[in-house]
């Protein structure tokens, strides 16, 4: 039997990502357009458990499309991983009269959504909001483009000083399990090498590549290292390279959380608007238990269970392009 949807809750969860606010706005405005009552859940699943709900009339989402972060706050909530925590969350949801949930987050958020919707038969739609762009079922996640732009701005600035001193810079970017930011920003920043969790790091070949570059009149080199790179991260690799290549002046910059902030790019705002709109329309058409994605520039649905079962496939062609262009 079709469920009638009169009240929708929306939350953001896991790491924040630029464009989450644009997405909240799209969800709220679309819901209101279709006469649905819209409610915000504060601090992700933590707010569901702690009963922190706020009404979201249209004006509550004015003037946020350009802002980074999330007005609903976010959290990594351990209690939601327990049955007791999720039972509390369900009781609060029922007391609020919320018929369906839209969750904006990453793979962890969708794992929580998948188990919660199965246990309590709550219709849920997931929207991919993470700078990491590692989710299966979408070409892009909200926040990835903005994070990349912040990273390349930093790399460009580092390049100026690196070239002035003939230095070798290791720039560490985010990505616990995925090297997608490293790959994209590494290509766009013209880096000499990119080290990522998806590939083994071969120190020997890195050193010979840097040496070749120096012979070929390169006045500086930038190596982009993803946080989750398996041989120990930027600091450790830089130390190893310095030990073996001691005539090079080696520096390390860890970009850290500056990559997660800032005003979303046009791309992220439009992506967030399309996904937020499509998520509400999906619920109204009794679609549930799915993640919305963008595949070949079209909105596309993937079962949450499938979206959390794997990462997006690694782009070997991009890795090849990075290697060819960095000679
Ligand atoms: N297996 C799970 N079962 C229930 N809830 C989960 C599960 N995995 C993650 N969550 C919830 O989702 C939240 C966000 O996940 P996390 O991995 O921190 O970020 P992201 O969604 O960005 O990947 C977690 O803090 C937790 O509340
Ligand atoms: O801010 P925190 O909690 O230290 O988490 C850092 C992690 O969050 C991210 O920025 C985003 O990851 P998620 O989207 O999975 O939350 C990762 O790139 C990074 O490793
Ligand atoms: Mg994640």
Q: How confident is the model at residue 246 (pLDDT cuts 50, 70, 90)?
A: confident
Cβ of 47 below 6 Å from ligand 2 = no
* Assigned token pair, 124: 């849920």
Give 153's pLDDT tier (boundaries 50, 70, 90): very high
C-alpha of residue 174 to centroid of ligand 2, in Å: 7
> pLDDT by residue (tens digit) across 215-243?
888 888 999 999 999 998 999 999 999 99
Q: How far is the CA of 12 from the centre of ligand 2 (A)?
A: 14
The answer, yes or no, to whether residue 212 has pLDDT greater than 90, is: no
For residue 1, the model assigns a pLDDT of 53
31-89 pLDDT, tens digit each: 999 999 999 999 999 999 999 999 999 999 999 999 999 999 999 999 999 999 999 99
Indicate the CATH number for domain 7-143+264-309: 3.40.50.450
Nearest Cα to Cα of residue 282 among 312, 261, 303, 258: 303
Percentage of the chain lying above the pLDDT 90 cut: 88
Residues 8 and 99: beta-carbon distance below 8 Å: yes
Centre of ligand 1 to C-alpha 12, Å, is: 11
Q: Do domains 7-143+264-309 and 145-260 have the same CATH topology?
A: yes
CATH architecture of 145-260: 3-Layer(aba) Sandwich (3.40)
Give yes or no for a contact between 282 and 301, defined as CB atoms under 8 angstroms apart.
Answer: yes
Other C-beta atoms closer than 10 Å to the C-beta of 63 total 9
- CA-nearest residue, atom 13 of ligand 2: 15
Judge residue 316's burial from the number of C-beta atoms within 10 Å of its C-beta, 0-12 exposed, 13-18 middle, 19 or more buried: exposed
Q: Which ligand is nearest to the CA of 256?
A: 2
- Region of 71 (left: φ > 0; alpha: ψ -120 to 50; beta: rest) is alpha
Instruction: Say yes or no: CB of residue 181 within 6 Å of ligand 2.
Output: no
Check if the beta carbon of residue 177 is closer than 8 Å to that of residue 311.
yes
Say which residue the tokens 């010979």 belong to. Answer: 208
Instruction: Quote the mean pLDDT of the chain.
Output: 96
Q: Catalytic residue positions?
A: 132
pLDDT per residue over 172-201, tens digit each?
Answer: 999 999 999 999 999 999 999 999 999 998
Is 29 annotated to bind ligand? yes
> Which of 108-122, 171-185, 198-212 has the least mean pLDDT?
198-212
| Ligand 2 in reach of 44 Cβ (< 6 A) | no
Ligand 1 atom with the smallest distance to the CA of 79 is 27
Protein residue whose Cα sits closest to atom 15 of ligand 1: 108
CA distance 26 to 38: 11
Burial of 298 (0-12, 13-18, 19+ CB in 10 A): exposed
Given a cut of 80, is residue 2 above it in pLDDT?
no
Tracing tokens 């309590």 back to the chain, one arrives at 120
Residue ranges of the domains in the chain? 7-143+264-309, 145-260
Tokens 């399309």 label which residue? 274
Q: ∠ at Cα 169 (163, 170), nearest 5°?
A: 155
Enter the pTM of the model.
0.97
Whether residue 268 has pLDDT greater than 90: yes
Q: Is 167 annotated as a binding residue?
A: yes
């Amino acid at each position: 039997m079709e469920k009638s949807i009169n009240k929708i809750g929306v939350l953001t969860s896991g790491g924040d990502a630029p464009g989450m606010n644009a997405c909240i706005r799209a969800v709220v405005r679309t819901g209101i357009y279709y006469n649905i009552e819209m409610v915000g859940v504060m601090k992700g699943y933590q707010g569901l458990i702690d009963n922190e709900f706020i009404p979201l009339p249209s004006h509550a989402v004015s003037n946020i499309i350009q802002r980074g972060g999330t007005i609903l706050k976010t959290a990594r909530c351990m209690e939601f991983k327990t049955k007791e925590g999720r039972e509390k969350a369900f009781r609060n949801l029922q007391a609020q009269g919320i018929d369906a949930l839209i969750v904006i987050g990453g793979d962890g958020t969708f794992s929580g959504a998948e188990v919660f919707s199965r246990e309590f038969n709550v219709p849920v739609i997931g929207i991919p909001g993470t700078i990491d762009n590692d989710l299966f079922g979408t070409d892009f996640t909200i926040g990835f483009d903005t994070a990349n732009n912040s990273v390349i701005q930093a790399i460009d600035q580092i390049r100026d000083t690196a070239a002035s001193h003939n230095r070798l810079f290791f720039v560490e970017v985010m990505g616990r399990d995925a090297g997608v930011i490293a790959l994209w920003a590494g290509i766009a920043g013209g880096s000499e090498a990119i080290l990522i969790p998806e590939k083994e790091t071969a120190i020997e070949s890195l050193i010979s590549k840097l040496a070749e570059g120096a012979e070929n009149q390169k006045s500086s080199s930038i190596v982009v290292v993803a946080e989750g790179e398996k041989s120990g991260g930027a600091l450790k690799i830089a130390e190893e390279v310095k030990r073996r290549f001691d005539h090079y002046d080696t520096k390390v910059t860890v970009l850290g959380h500056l990559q997660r902030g800032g005003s979303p790019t046009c791309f992220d705002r439009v992506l967030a608007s399309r996904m937020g709109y499509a998520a509400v329309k999906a619920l109204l058409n009794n679609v549930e238990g799915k993640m919305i994605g963008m595949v070949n520039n079209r909105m596309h649905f993937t079962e949450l269970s499938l979206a959390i079962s794997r990462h997006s496939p690694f782009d070997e062609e991009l890795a090849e392009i990075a290697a060819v262009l960095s000679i």
